[in-house]
Structure 1
């Protein structure tokens, strides 16, 4: 038996979605029971369920980009493409990740998408325009009110609020990744960053876009193998708080 081989049923299931170099054979020998537990979490990620497998693999790639693991990003983008993820959905995720977590995670995901699908095609569209009252109206529609942090930005740095509005509207509602899936992706990313408040915000957005609670749970669970079981606590809190009042 090779020391770099997995031998248990759980190890073989994990190896189907975790690439070589992950230390899985050693982990299996340290605790086959732990690996079986990881496999059962991974069974949710690596199969069609409330969400398609390809979509969940895309969410996993985004979480891995936030964790700055280029190898895992590329692995999961390629796996998502092989599972049938449309190119335009991957391109949409690249835009959404930038507004959520900034330039470096965006770069890692963008490079993986370009390696898998090729560079972006076509010409840039219209850049759009904005003003502070229009931005307030957008947030009123999205939240049902204008949050105080939006008002603060509008009062003290109006052009920045205009930019925030343009980026947010473009990323959450105007990419080829459907709004429901964009909101779910942001739930996964924020679960991976242990941010319950933002899970709540995007879980509410996902529900408004038609997501079920089963889909919210599956999306959030894509973070667990890469951010640890600790990611589930803020994810669960955010999902529970996103429920409509009784």
Structure 2
């Protein structure tokens, strides 16, 4: 079933701001059609960003559309893992609620927690490998709260390589979420996406997925980060 976007359907906006509505329709077209990225992934990225901004209705609508476009449960659930690390418990649980509404009881499973030991120096080596140098924030964590550094390492690894999404798509989901928050850290995950094989067109589409939740500024911030980090 096709659901009309509420902004596009708003009579006041159609009358008073026809150019705005026409422009937004084109942004939606980029998200809703397969191009550099498949539409179901772009809807997932948008749903995740909506959860970070506190828009549960939008998150549910976009996730339902992703499911209708063929996104399977395990790939959809990957966003909850990524939000757990990148935007915390509230955003992750908002996504969990949307996941249950869209995928039903299959989205709810019982599982025991699995303790994972981190060897001495393992977290530091991982940070150096990924970032190329030790970020001051993580160096301070290793220095002052070593168990916090281990926790950071485990959550970061779970986000980037522990889901059903490919590493490139996990990085791109983070790009959308960070662009929606106008975060300079978007450039870090753009570089991670490039290393994992993502194209500039894929990165651009991931940034555009943030526009419905954060407006045109999401593209400005994201494009600036793209230019800063683009090889060559």
Which whole-Å CA distance do the structure 2 matches of 1:143 and 1:232 have between them? 24
CA distance in 1, matches of 2:156, 2:84: 10
1:68 aligned residue: 54
Q: Structure 2: how far apart are the matches of 1:171 and 1:124? A: 19
- Tell whether 2:20 aligns with 1:34: yes
Aligned pairs (5 A) from 1:14-163: 18=5, 20=6, 24-117=10-103, 118=105, 119-121=107-109, 123-124=111-112, 126-163=114-151
Structure 1 position 206 matched with structure 2 position 188: no
Contact 1:44–1:218 at 8 Å: present in 2 too? yes
Deviation at 1:85, TM superposition (A): 0.7
Could you tell me which residue of structure 2 aligns to residue 219 of structure 1? 206
Once the two structures are TM-superposed, the CA of residue 129 in structure 1 deviates from its matched residue by 1.9
Residue among 183, 186, 204 paired with 2:171: 183
Aligned residues: 229
SS of residue paired to 1:50? coil
Cα deviation for residue 131 of structure 1 reads 4.0
2:220 and 2:169 mapped to 1: Cα distance? Answer: 21
User: What TM-score, normalized by structure 1, do the two folds share?
Assistant: 0.88
Unmatched 5+ residue regions in structure 1? 1-14
TM-aligned CA deviation for residue 124 of structure 1: 4.4
> Which digits, 9 at most, give the CA deviation of each residue in 1:50-105, with x for residues without a partner?
00000000011011111101110110111100000121111111110111111111
Give a deviation string over 1:111-162, Cα, whole Å, max 9, x none: 1012212333464474322145100111111112221211110000001111
How is 1:154-173 mapped onto 2 (pairs within 5 angstroms)?
154-173=142-161
3-state SS, counterpart of residue 54 of structure 1: helix
The aligned residue for residue 12 of structure 1 is: none
